[in-house]
């Protein structure tokens, strides 16, 4: 079972408990499909705009066993508030730069 970490939008923490992320990871559906069922080793926020703690938290997730890092759909797709993060591309690029090619960074989790 692939071990993964999820980074969510801090703005949606009080609106979304991450239930769909957990269900999809466990079932290996949507963005998790290429990884089959996944074990979540950590579920953290980006640290607030403009994702100021996302890079350090992605590294922490990898240090704790994550083999891939996912940016939750609240960041890329704006779920559930219909406001995608304007910093999503920069955040993903910074995380990829820090983690290197060995750790995939996926920019969504579910529909």
Phi-psi region of 47 (alpha: psi -120 to 50; beta: other; left: phi over 0): left
- What are the structural domains, with CATH classification, of the chain? 2-77+87-106 (3.40.50.2300)
Q: What are phi and psi of 53, to 5 degrees?
A: -115, 5
pLDDT in tens, the chain (111 residues): 999 999 999 999 889 999 999 999 999 999 999 999 999 999 999 999 999 899 999 999 999 999 999 999 999 988 788 889 999 999 999 999 999 999 999 999 998
């Amino acid at each position: 079972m692939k071990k993964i970490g999820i980074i969510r939008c801090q703005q949606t923490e009080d609106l979304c408990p991450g239930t769909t992320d957990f269900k999809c990871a466990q079932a290996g559906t949507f963005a998790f499909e290429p990884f089959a069922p996944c074990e979540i080793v950590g579920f953290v926020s980006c640290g607030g705009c403009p994702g100021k703690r996302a890079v350090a938290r992605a590294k922490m997730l990898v240090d704790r066993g994550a083999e891939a890092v996912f940016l939750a759909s609240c960041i890329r797709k704006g779920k559930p508030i219909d406001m995608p993060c304007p910093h999503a591309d920069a955040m993903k690029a910074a995380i990829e730069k820090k983690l290197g090619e060995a750790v995939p960074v996926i920019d969504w989790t579910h529909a």
